[in-house]
């Protein structure tokens, strides 16, 4: 389910490992190449050059330290070892990686990495990865792979601890379809459109997370949402960390390169949580600029990169700055502020991407929470996680199906209930767009870079009201063909469902760790809180439990950069 980097990589692996002996459906509410993954810009992490000083342990340590010691270390150790193979496979399948003068794969520095290990294709890495995977998968189309584009999954069907299939609405015709399968992989991406000011595409609405949660599958660490430092004001669109990797710097109103003060060693390439907090601190202390709609900002200066290198290595960034801010970044600095960017939490899976207690179900990519990224993801570690876990889950799903002869059927009741739920959406009186706007407003203000008890309590109160109102929503468009109104409404329902889980988790976690910073609990508290949040659905609201973090060889220490 899903055709981003994780979904496509899973399908390629399933086709390869099964020798095309199984039927594989790639289902997506978008056209394949419209998936959010095409936006990935700066690079994909992998340890490629041990002879130059990089190592698996260094990549693992950077990831774990970056995660503020919430990542499961056994999973991270496995992940970094599987990463190089993925980068090399993409090279074999035709991805035009940037190269050094001697023809080897080039790598650039990225925030929180102690070695330049971001493999990249200019500043359009995700686009080229998607194109390469799609192209590779098309070789199997018609033989064992079928694409179902513009098919919207509304329900994940799990019965008696077994994955059964998906309830799906064909967006072109509004026909309701049931996809039964022996194995399923959730690769539906994150929940970033919970926020109004965000780097995410409009389509990233947490549908898969909501479907899993409502099917009784817990969500893990969902309170950890990453804010990327350089969202371009006023749209929030991302300017890659690769800009700072190439030499760009952040400056306040006085022209000072303020990151020198907050992270003396890593400076502008400190991890995202630290950089985002430093920027907001500068703004709060009066050293920022006044922006439109309260979007106060600091500046990102491309100057130190130089004109020629900016043109050669960051062409998409020049285009974005021109189109969305009317500025050529080679001539003047551009306005930026932290923008909601990544979902560290997700569907609770084990270190192989398996959903515990549900046979035949996996989750990969941003939809899943292994946890590799813990409380704060390092840049370039997501696309590689999509590749590594796409491959891992694709292979396991094939082996499971090939050794399993159970027939597959579902209870009729579950199907009828879903059909009724969707048909009733036309009957209420609440405007779903108004609800989404109110949701964005409260999330952007109260569940942002700095959080506190009072703000979170307010947010929870409002979201509970929205939850009640969203139950009485009205879809005004009655068209059957491409009824966008219906799908936007289904997405809004999902976002409201997830907002409650995010806020409840954030309220409960009385410490500051990674991207979750509580002004009223400013310290990390390993004694009480070095544990994963597990949120289970109940009709009254999420029920929280906690499970331990796996530590192998890196004991938690203070993060200094």
Ligand X SMILES: Cc1cc2nc3c(=O)[nH]c(=O)nc-3n(C[C@H](O)[C@H](O)[C@H](O)COP(=O)(O)OP(=O)(O)OC[C@H]3O[C@@H](n4cnc5c(N)ncnc54)[C@H](O)[C@@H]3O)c2cc1C
Quote the CA–CA distance of 396 and 13 in Å, as a whole number: 9
What letter would DSSP give residue 268? G
Q: Which of the following is catalytic: 228, 251, 272, 516? A: 228
What letter would DSSP give residue 307? H
Task: Please confirm, yes or no, whether 445 is among the known catalytic residues.
Answer: no
Q: Which of the following is catalytic: 36, 193, 244, 272? A: 244
The closest alpha carbon to 443, from 197, 190, 189, 235, belongs to 197
**Residues in contact with ligand X by the rule CB under 6 A:** 1-7, 27-30, 35-37, 39-44, 125-126, 152-153, 187-189, 199-200, 204, 207-208, 238, 341-342, 365-367, 380-383, 386
Strand ranges, E, within 394-497: 450-451
Quote the CA–CA distance of 124 and 6 in Å, as a whole number: 17
Contacts of 98 (CB under 8 A, 6+ apart): 105, 106, 120, 121, 122, 313
- Are 390 and 7 in contact, with CB atoms under 8 Å apart? yes
Quote the CA–CA distance of 184 and 24 in Å, as a whole number: 10
- Cβ-closest residue to ligand X? 4
Nearer to ligand X (CB atom), residue 105 or residue 460 = 105
Q: Is cis: bond before 371, omega within 30 of 0?
A: yes
For the CB of residue 472, give the shortest distance to ligand X in the complex, in Å.
22
For the CB of residue 124, give the shortest distance to ligand X in the complex, in Å.
9
Give the strand pairing for 162-170 and 151-159.
antiparallel
Strand ranges, E, within 223-324: 225-232, 237-238, 249-251, 298-301
Q: E strand or H helix at 159, and its extent?
A: strand 151-159
Quote the CA–CA distance of 90 and 111 in Å, as a whole number: 24
> In 10 A of CB 142, how many CB atoms?
9
For the CB of residue 473, give the shortest distance to ligand X in the complex, in Å.
17
Helices 5-17 + 125-138 axis angle, to 10: 30
Nearer to ligand X (CB atom), residue 39 or residue 145 = 39
For the CB of residue 251, give the shortest distance to ligand X in the complex, in Å.
22
What letter would DSSP give residue 548? E
For the CB of residue 337, give the shortest distance to ligand X in the complex, in Å.
15
For the CB of residue 50, give the shortest distance to ligand X in the complex, in Å.
21
- Hunting for tokens 């130089």 — which residue is that? 306
For the CB of residue 30, give the shortest distance to ligand X in the complex, in Å.
4
Task: Please confirm, yes or no, whether 228 is among the known catalytic residues.
Answer: yes
Catalytic residues: 228, 244
């Amino acid at each position: 389910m899903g055709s981003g980097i994780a979904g496509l990589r899973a399908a390629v692996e399933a086709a390869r490992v099964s020798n095309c002996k199984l039927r594989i459906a790639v289902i997506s509410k978008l056209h394949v190449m419209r998936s959010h993954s095409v936006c990935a810009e700066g690079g994909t992490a992998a340890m490629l050059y041990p002879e130059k000083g990089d190592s698996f342990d260094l990549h693992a340590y950077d990831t774990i330290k970056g995660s503020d010691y919430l990542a499961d270390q056994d999973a991270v150790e496995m992940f970094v070892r599987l990463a190089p193979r993925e980068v090399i496979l993409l090279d074999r399948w035709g991805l035009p990686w940037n190269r050094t003068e001697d023809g080897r794969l080039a790598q650039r520095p990225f925030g929180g990495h102690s070695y330049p290990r971001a493999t990249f294709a200019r500043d359009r890495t995700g686009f080229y990865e998607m194109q390469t995977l799609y192209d590779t998968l098309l070789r199997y189309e018609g033989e064992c792979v079928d694409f179902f584009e513009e098919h919207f999954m509304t329900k994940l069907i799990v019965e008696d601890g077994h994955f059964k299939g998906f309830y799906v609405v064909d967006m072109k015709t509004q026909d309701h379809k049931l996809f039964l399968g022996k194995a399923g992989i959730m690769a539906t991406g994150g929940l970033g459109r919970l926020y109004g000011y965000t780097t995410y595409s409009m389509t990233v609405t947490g549908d898969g997370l909501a479907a899993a949660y409502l099917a009784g599958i817990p969500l893990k660490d969902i309170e950890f949402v990453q804010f990327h430092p350089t969202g371009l004001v006023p749209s929030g669109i991302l300017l890659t960390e690769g800009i700072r990797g190439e030499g760009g710097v952040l400056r306040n109103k006085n022209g000072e390169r303020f990151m020198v003060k907050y992270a003396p060693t890593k400076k502008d390439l400190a991890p995202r949580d630290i950089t985002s907090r430093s920027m907001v601190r500068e703004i709060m202390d009066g050293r920022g600029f006044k922006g439109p709609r309260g979007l106060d900002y600091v500046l990102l200066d491309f100057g130190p990169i130089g004109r020629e290198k900016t043109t050669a290595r960051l062409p998409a960034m020049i285009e974005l700055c021109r189109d969305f801010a009317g500025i050529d970044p080679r001539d003047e600095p551009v306005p930026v502020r932290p923008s909601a960017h990544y979902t560290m939490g997700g569907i609770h899976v084990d270190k192989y991407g398996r959903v515990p207690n549900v046979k035949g179900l996996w989750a990969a990519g941003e939809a899943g929470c292994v946890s590799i990224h813990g409380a704060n993801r390092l840049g370039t570690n997501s696309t590689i996680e999509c590749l590594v876990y796409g491959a891992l889950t694709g292979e396991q799903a094939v082996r499971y199906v090939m050794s399993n002869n159970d027939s597959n059927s579902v209870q009729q009741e579950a199907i009828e209930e879903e059909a009724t739920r969707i048909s009733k959406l036309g009957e209420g009186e609440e405007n779903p767009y108004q609800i989404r706007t109110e949701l964005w407003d409260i999330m952007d203000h109260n569940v942002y870079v700095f959080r506190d008890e009072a703000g979170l309590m307010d947010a929870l109160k409002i979201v509970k009201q929205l939850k009640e109102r969203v139950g009485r929503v009205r879809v005004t468009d009655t068209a059957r063909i491409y009824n966008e109104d219906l799908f936007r409404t289904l997405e809004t329902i999902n976002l409201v469902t997830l907002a409650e889980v995010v806020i409840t988790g954030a309220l409960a976690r009385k410490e500051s760790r990674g991207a979750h910073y509580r002004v009223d609990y400013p310290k990390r508290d390993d004694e009480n809180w070095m544990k994963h949040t597990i949120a289970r659905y109940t009709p009254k609201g999420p029920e929280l439990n906690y499970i331990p973090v796996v530590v192998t060889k890196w004991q938690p220490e203070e993060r200094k950069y």
